Amino acid sequence: MAIASLIFSIIAIILSFIPFVNIVSIACAIIAISTGIGSIIEKNKKNKALGVAGLCVGLIALFIAIIISLVFGVGLLTYLYESSSAPDADILNDFYENFNYDSYDYDTDYDELYQFNNQNIF
């Protein structure tokens, strides 16, 4: 279990620096932490140092992955919020407000279509 903890923690620390992939890193870090604790509790004293190392690196990887996820998540939300209030949206709103609908009356056709569909054909 100690070797598995160290392997999962190394994978977690490598993946924790890659944005949007670090969600996998969080899962690997949790596995590394749980197997590290299991290997420390285990009676086998031979692999206890590997378990402690896997536990420490797993905790560091979990911390880094959470921080990077929060930073990129807030950055993405800020970008999406600011891009939705771009000047182009004002141009489109002005176009739709000033568009001239006087060339044709759409309500009349909808009323006639509604009356035609409600007639009993049979």
- Structural domain includes residue 53: yes
pTM of the model: 0.64
Provide the residue range defining the domain that includes 70: 2-117
Total of domains in the chain: 1
- Structural domain includes residue 122: no
- Structural domain includes residue 109: yes
- Structural domain includes residue 35: yes
For the range 30-37, what are the long-range contacts, defined as Cβ-Cβ under 8 Å and sequence gap of 24 or more?
30/58, 30/62, 31/4, 31/58, 32/5, 32/6, 32/8, 32/57, 32/58, 32/61, 33/5, 33/9, 33/58, 33/59, 33/62, 35/1, 35/2, 35/4, 35/5, 35/8, 36/2, 36/5, 36/9
Q: What is the pLDDT of residues 17-39, one digit of tens each?
A: 988 888 899 999 999 999 999 99
Q: What is the pLDDT of residues 70-89, one digit of tens each?
A: 998 888 888 777 766 555 55
